[in-house]
Chains A and B, each alone.
Chain A
């Protein structure tokens, strides 16, 4: 099974940078995903890492260290619309996802 931990809440100022950490323990790792979920809406895909290192996608970057069971999502140049929950999910060898409880990010003016 999977055990996935991420902080419950984070607050940051518009224009700043926020880093959301995710640690996991898994019985069969096959990739790590980050999803964004605005209140009352469905989760939407942000990023995917299967190899160690940094994946950059515009203002969002995601990092993975498989040996440490660790990932982070970096949000740069924060905007008000980035206020949302960010979900870390680990995929197993059967291609099923296990999700962390999510980190609620609040961006303040």
Chain B
């Protein structure tokens, strides 16, 4: 694989169910991010991790959790999905701390919560 992969590509989920979105990068970037993108609102940061073993909250963290057990993987979990979590979710990675630090995005997961 090259770059960032996300799974699944799309998912329809019943409200109240638990769901984990997967994200894997092979660029050995130290930082990883989860965003959601909604029409008219742009990309909003959910959670981030500047290095393996650490995580932080972004702008819209409620209802989501993350873990960063190693450099490559950064799963996002919805413990009990609600319809307002219907969105397109993008994972990104970057070499945190460099002036030229650029975020590279995965292909996205389209999630529908009914």
| A interface residues, how many (CB within 8 angstroms) | 20
Note all chain B residues with C-beta closer than 8 A to A42. Answer: 90, 105-108
Note all chain B residues with C-beta closer than 8 A to A95. Answer: 31, 50, 94, 96-97, 101
- In the assembled complex, the Cα of A65 lies from the Cα of B67 at a distance in Å of 38
Does any Cβ of B come within 8 Å of A50's Cβ? yes
- In the assembled complex, the Cα of A102 lies from the Cα of B37 at a distance in Å of 11
Q: List 20 A-B contacts (CB under 8 A).
A: A41-B108, A42-B90, A44-B105, A45-B102, A45-B104, A87-B42, A87-B43, A89-B43, A91-B101, A95-B31, A95-B94, A95-B96, A95-B97, A96-B33, A96-B48, A97-B43, A98-B59, A99-B35, A99-B43, A99-B44
Note all chain B residues with C-beta closer than 8 A to A41. Answer: 107-108
List A48-105 residues whose CB lies under 8 Å from chain B: 48, 50, 87, 89, 91, 95-102
Q: Are the CB atoms of B45 and A97 closer together than 8 Å?
A: yes
Does any Cβ of B come within 8 Å of A33's Cβ? yes
Does any Cβ of A come within 8 Å of B58's Cβ? yes
Does any Cβ of A come within 8 Å of B41's Cβ? yes
Contact of A100 among B42, B48, B59, B97 (CB under 8 A): B42
Note all chain B residues with C-beta closer than 8 A to A87. Answer: 42-43
Note all chain A residues with C-beta closer than 8 A to B105. Answer: 42-44
